[in-house]
Amino acid sequence: MKGIIFAPMDNKSFPFQRQNYILMLIGMGVVILGFILMSGGGSDDPNVFSEEIFSFRRITLAPLVVLGGYGFIMYAIMKKPKTTDSAE
C-alpha cells in the first residue's frame, strides 16, 4: 500500500464500552418489541376483511415504540464513556 500514511494510534481504548453495548442491546429489544406489536391483524379467509388491522396498537403504538427504540440506540452510540483522569 504505497502512498497511504497511517496515523499512529495514541489512544488504545475501544470506542464503545460495555455500557454502550448493553444500551444498544436494550434498544434493539425495544425495536423488536415494536415490530412484534405491529404484527398480526390479518384474516384467515382472504374473502373476509378484518378491521383488526387498523387497531391503535398497530397504527400508533407500535411505530412509536420502534422510533423510541431507534432513538435509544442512537443515544447508546453517542454516549461517551466516563474517563478517569489520574492527573486531577
Nearest-CA neighbor of 33 among 78, 77, 64? 64
Q: Where are the domains of the chain?
A: 18-78
Q: CA-to-CA distance for 39 and 35, rounded, in angstroms?
A: 6
**pTM for this one?**
0.74
Q: Distance (Å, rounded) from C-alpha 75 to C-alpha 83?
A: 18
Q: What are the grid coordinates assigned to 37, written together?
A: 406489536
Q: Which DSSP letter does residue 53 get?
A: G
Helices (H), the chain: 18-38, 56, 62-78
The per-residue pLDDT string of the chain (88 residues; one tens digit each, 9 = 90 and over) reads: 566 666 565 556 778 889 999 999 999 999 999 999 999 877 788 888 888 888 999 999 999 999 999 999 999 999 987 766 555 4
